[in-house]
Amino acid sequence: MWNFNNWFTGFIVGVSLLFASSVSAQDLQDKPYDNQLQTIKEFLQKGNLAKAIEGIDDILESYPDAAEVHYAKAMLFGQVNNINVALESAEKAYELDQKLDYAKYLLSLYRREDKNEALTFINKVVNDFPGNQDVLREKIALLHENKNSEEALTLLDSLKLEYGDTDTLAILEAEVLADIGKADQAEKILKKFAKRNSKLTPVYTSYGFLLGKKEKYRQAVRVLKKGLKNTGEKGLYLDIADIYNQQNKTDQSFEYLTLALKSDEIEYPAKHRVVGSLLHGEHSFTNDQLYMLTDQLTSEYPEIAENYLFKGEVYLRKGDLKMAKSMFSKVIEMDKKHIEAWRMLINSELVTGDTKAAIQRGKEALTHNPNHPVLLYFTGLSFFAQKEYDSSRSYLEKALDYSEQSPDYLRSSIYSSLGDLYHAINLDDVSDVAYEEAIELDSMNTMALNNYAYYLSLREVNLDKAERFSRTSNEIDPNNSTFQDTYAWILYKQGEYENALSWIEKAIKNSSSLSPTVLEHYGDILYSLGDTKKALEQWQKALDLAEGGEMEELESKIKLKGHEL
């Protein structure tokens, strides 16, 4: 489910992925650097942030007091989440020129970093712009965010006395009331202004949102469609689609999403968010419908690399790996720094079994993004799949070295893969330490839990820990046949043969293609329960699928009818 209601009404200045220009026409008039700013805009339209930022710095070197350029720099660095630089630039812009837009953006940055600092700053802005309703509404919103909701409502009441009971203030009051558990009062306020045919879109989005939370879906759709009629705001297409999606009315939701994506009045970031949320969230859309939505994005915005990444993801879902790789390659042609596109391209090569191509992709990616931990990690995985263990170890250990600032889930994945690698080269003690680190960083890392448990069972050490970790992996992912086989095998090693039989049969039922290992385990468990005939049948099935050393061991079992087990 997604939600596009602008439930916070604090007038924060947004940044378009294309370039919601932070420099106004007035700013550009008769400026000696207006041509440079136009070039920067063109870089951003092509998704080249690095060149845009370089261009901004070139201007500031020659014109250090250009407030609007400091502001543009703040917006750019805010977009790439470098908040420290964004704050420094925004503060400089406002110091040079006390414009309200500069104040609003600086406030939005303080909000992200330090709510107390934001409150201090808003009081300064209130003094700089006395009587400005926008600023006072910002203060109300900030007080509410800082859990001073009663003070916020008191200030709001004073504004209502001074300026009247306006729909703008009603939207803010409804937000505060809804957040403090007074949704019915909030709904009543918004209903009043909806009946008055308010021209403000948030009246309808907020009202529709509250109705949707109460599962009053038909009423919510009526309210939003009324808002569409009264305001002409095409962004309401997204809210209507959301309500239909909540009801699993996929065709109606798809219809309004299509209208939204085709609308020139809806900015790209909103379209980007909705498609991204569909690809990475829960919904009932078909792959064909997702394809049509992503195709609409690439048609409308062919210059934005991210759209082709979305399209590639849909091709992956459809099982068309060739076209998926084509899309990911296109992203990389447009932006060699796009880590996610490189990752998905390398992974696609691994899925098709072309480990040499995966290795080549990884090496190429690292020439453009040296020492990036994600790329080092996937290149290491590619070497591991190729059984080039020395190279795999070099890349994986380097990935770990460069992952100190990375999220725990990535570091956990690196440790887990190092555990697999160290096991493969018979460094069991080191392997155990790597798995322990992986699980410590991410207790939900099912691959680490499963693989560690399985390798402990093969060595017949710490079987209680192995059973606990394997049980956890099955609780997290209850229909994974590999995890079920591991648990069955550990129970077998613990002598719990009946329970082991139940779990191995689950593994076989849930497996789309049986491996010789699972069938061999099935045979071993059956043999331990005294069913030699069925055990021999399973061993023979395993032998028919086996290769190399597996064959010799299975042939021996069959020949000796398991007597050496």
Whether residue 424 is contained in a domain is answered as no
Last residue of a domain, one of 113, 135, 167: 113
Whether residue 205 is contained in a domain is answered as no
Whether residue 527 is contained in a domain is answered as yes
Last residue of a domain, one of 113, 142, 161: 113
Residue 537 belongs to domain spanning: 513-565
Closest to 23 measured CA to CA, from 63, 67, 86, 53? 67
pLDDT for 5-51, tens place per residue?
332 222 222 323 323 344 444 444 567 887 888 888 777 766 677 78
Low-confidence ranges of the chain (pLDDT < 70): 1-30, 45-47, 548-550, 562-565
The answer to whether the CB of 433 falls within 8 A of the CB of 455 is no
CA–CA dist 263, 238 (Å, integer): 11
The answer to whether the CB of 331 falls within 8 A of the CB of 347 is no
In terms of C-beta distances under 8 Å and separation of at least 24 residues, what long-range contacts does 507-511 make, across chains too? 507/481, 507/482, 508/481, 509/481, 510/479, 510/480, 510/481, 510/484, 511/481
This prediction has a pTM of 0.74
Whether residue 141 is contained in a domain is answered as no
Task: Write down the pLDDT at residue 11.
Answer: 23
pLDDT for 347-403, tens place per residue?
999 999 999 999 999 999 999 999 999 999 999 999 999 999 999 999 999 999 999
Task: Write down the pLDDT at residue 31.
Answer: 78
Whether residue 407 is contained in a domain is answered as no
Q: Domain tally for the chain?
A: 2
Please give the backbone phi and psi of residue 358, each rounded to the nearest 5 degrees, phi first.
Answer: -60, -45
Whether residue 242 is contained in a domain is answered as no
Whether residue 191 is contained in a domain is answered as no
Domain with residue 29: its CATH number is 1.25.40.10
Last residue of a domain, one of 113, 134, 149: 113
Task: Write down the pLDDT at residue 295.
Answer: 96
Whether residue 19 is contained in a domain is answered as yes
